[in-house]
């Protein structure tokens, strides 16, 4: 299968670097004003097997004998995906589209795979998610991810097409669970970062991560996901990584909130928008999500960390 990556941010570029070991890859971005090294992924020189372009037609036509890319990895941030699909849905339909974004669209309440499926009903939609940092993937460090596709046979083909010696893919048909794990862990990572930034300690972080995971599982189950999926790479695995490492943008954003410090607005923090989307969906569905609701308030500036912790600690005592 020939592969193109749509989205030249850090993660899309890292995937292109990893997959270039298998064969030629086309990397598309809206603005390509760099050569050899993507400023979003410093220190990584692109291998010769990657063709970089800002022309979507070039990315879509890449492939053996000009037959077109058979797999498109869509690494476009969740909040920017709707606009991208509005402009390109006709040329994306009837292809294999693998979503590599994590989040929930604020306007529609849909996941990235849900948006891809709605915009391109003839496409085979899959999700690539799990505990990973772009720099690790680009450096060829061992990484395990979840590949979710409702079509089991198509998922198996994609698994073999996208796995590399350093990038191990585990397959599932639970697209909902895999996506929600990847989206919701960013929300909890912000809360964990806020606890550390405010000087509340590692014990407080552990409590937030544990109770946050319970929220993730509760929300996912209410949306029809298999609870076992949340206990895997795309849920618990990704949560552990994101809530404990300063490489995580969501964790660093939380630390800044806890310290009352500014955070670079140019850095994409998907968990902030996801918290707002999830809080609304949970309220309408009667799903108890206290940590997610408080993260939404923190991200909007409606409350501070002390108020958030006071509200959590004042909740009624209950069984675990």
User: Among candidates 163, 164, 158, 7, which has minimal Cα distance to 77?
Assistant: 7
Asked if 86 and 61 count as a contact pair (C-beta separation under 8 A), the reply is: no
Q: Distance between the two ends of the chain, CA-based, in angstroms?
A: 48
Angle of CA points 148, 25, 5, to nearest 5°: 50
| Catalytic residue check, 185 | yes
- Tell me which of 102, 185, 306, 318 is the catalytic residue: 185
Count Cβ atoms below 10 Å from residue 175 Cβ, excluding itself: 24
Cα separation, 55 vs 146, in Å, equals: 29
Residue 180, CA distances (Å) to 1, 100, 158, 186 in order = 28, 13, 21, 10
CA distances 222 to 67, 127, 148, 250, Å, are 42, 20, 19, 25
Closest CA relative to residue 294, chosen from 236, 238, 215: 215
Residue 238: name the closest of 187, 181, 171 by CA.
181
Catalytic residue ranges: 185
């Amino acid at each position: 299968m020939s592969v193109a990556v749509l989205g030249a941010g850090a993660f899309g570029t890292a995937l292109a670097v990893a997959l270039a070991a298998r064969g030629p890859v086309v990397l598309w971005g809206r603005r390509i004003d760099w050569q050899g090294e993507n400023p979003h992924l410093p220190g990584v020189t692109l291998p010769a097997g990657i063709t970089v372009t800002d022309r979507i037609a070039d990315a879509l036509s890449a492939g053996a004998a000009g037959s077109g890319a058979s797999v498109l990895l869509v690494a476009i941030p969740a909040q920017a995906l709707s606009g991208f699909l509005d402009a390109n849905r006709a040329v994306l339909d009837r292809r294999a589209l693998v979503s590599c974004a994590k989040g929930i669209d604020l306007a529609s309440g849909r996941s990235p795979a849900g948006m891809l499926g709605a915009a391109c009903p003839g496409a085979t939609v899959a999700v690539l998610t799990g505990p990973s940092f772009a720099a690790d993937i680009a450096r060829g460090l061992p990484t395990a991810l979840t590949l979710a596709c409702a079509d089991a046979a198509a998922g198996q083909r994609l698994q073999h097409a996208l796995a590399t010696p350093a990038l191990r893919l585990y397959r599932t048909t639970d697209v909902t669970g895999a996506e929600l794990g990847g989206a919701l862990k960013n929300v909890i990572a912000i809360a964990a970062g806020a606890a550390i930034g405010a000087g509340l300690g590692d014990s407080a972080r552990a409590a937030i991560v544990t109770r946050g995971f319970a929220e993730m599982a509760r929300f996912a189950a209410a949306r029809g996901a298999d609870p076992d999926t949340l206990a895997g790479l795309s849920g618990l695995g990704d949560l552990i990584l994101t809530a404990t490492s300063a490489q995580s943008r969501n964790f660093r954003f939380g630390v800044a909130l806890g310290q009352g410090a500014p955070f670079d607005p140019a850095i994409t923090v998907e968990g902030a928008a996801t918290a707002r989307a999830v809080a609304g969906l949970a309220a309408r569905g009667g799903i108890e999500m206290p940590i997610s609701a408080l993260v939404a308030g923190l991200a909007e500036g409606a409350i501070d960390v002390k108020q958030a912790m006071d509200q959590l600690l004042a909740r009624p005592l209950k069984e675990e």
